[in-house]
Amino acid sequence: MTPEEIARASADRMWELDAVSVAQGMELTSVGPGDACVTMRVLPTMLNAHKMCHGGHIFTLADTAFAYACNSHGVSTVAQHCSITYLAPARLNDLLTAHAREVQVAGRTGVYDVSIANQNGLAIAEFRGLSRAVPKAPIGGAP
């Protein structure tokens, strides 16, 4: 299999089991080796008391793109550490896109950056995730 085929097969297997992403209306729009894009529309049930998207939903979107990017090499990988910086509020009906990119993989640890923007290209948040490969666990199985 090519690296692109491995990325797609890994993503397809994960998506079958990814109840959280499906429940939040996310869509995996692209995946490749070390790269993934996921979209999510901001729904009324995602708004906080300030009438903006709750940061937890934005974090979940970023974490989902991170998960697909770091599992794109066909090795089961989990989050080790994640941080997010919120730059602007996301509003009702915004279409958010999280683009995850692999920065570096060394041994079993990977570094990934995820940029989240709305439909107008406005930066909403920046996320950095550190991953840990658990190669003896199948993708979609418990580590």
Give the Å distances, CA to CA, from 57 to 84, 90, 100. Answer: 12, 10, 16
Q: For the ranges 37-41, 52-56, 132-136, which has the lowest average pLDDT? A: 132-136
Please report whether residue 69 resides in a domain.
Answer: yes
Report CA 99 to chain centroid distance, whole Å.
7
Q: Residue 31 above 90 pLDDT?
A: yes
The CATH number assigned to the domain holding 76 equals 3.10.129.10
- Convert the pLDDT of each residue in 110-140 to its tens digit: 999 999 999 999 999 999 999 999 977 666 5
Please report whether residue 32 resides in a domain.
Answer: yes
Please report whether residue 61 resides in a domain.
Answer: yes
- Convert the pLDDT of each residue in 56-70 to its tens digit: 999 999 999 999 999
Please report whether residue 127 resides in a domain.
Answer: yes
What pLDDT, on a 0 to 100 scale, did the predictor assign at position 137? 67
Q: Residue 19 above 60 pLDDT?
A: yes
Q: Residue 143 above 60 pLDDT?
A: no
Please report whether residue 73 resides in a domain.
Answer: yes
Classify 78 as helix, strand or coil.
strand
What pLDDT, on a 0 to 100 scale, did the predictor assign at position 128? 99
Q: Which of 19, 112, 21, 29 is nearest to 73 (CA)?
A: 112
Residue 101 lies in domain = 3-133
Please report whether residue 143 resides in a domain.
Answer: no
Helix 55-70 to helix 3-17 angle (10° resolution) is 140
Please report whether residue 140 resides in a domain.
Answer: no
What pLDDT, on a 0 to 100 scale, did the predictor assign at position 142? 52
Mean pLDDT to the nearest integer, 90-111: 98
Q: Residue 85 above 80 pLDDT?
A: yes
- Residue 1 pLDDT class (50, 70, 90 cuts): confident
What pLDDT, on a 0 to 100 scale, did the predictor assign at position 122? 99
- Domains: count for the chain: 1
Please report whether residue 7 resides in a domain.
Answer: yes
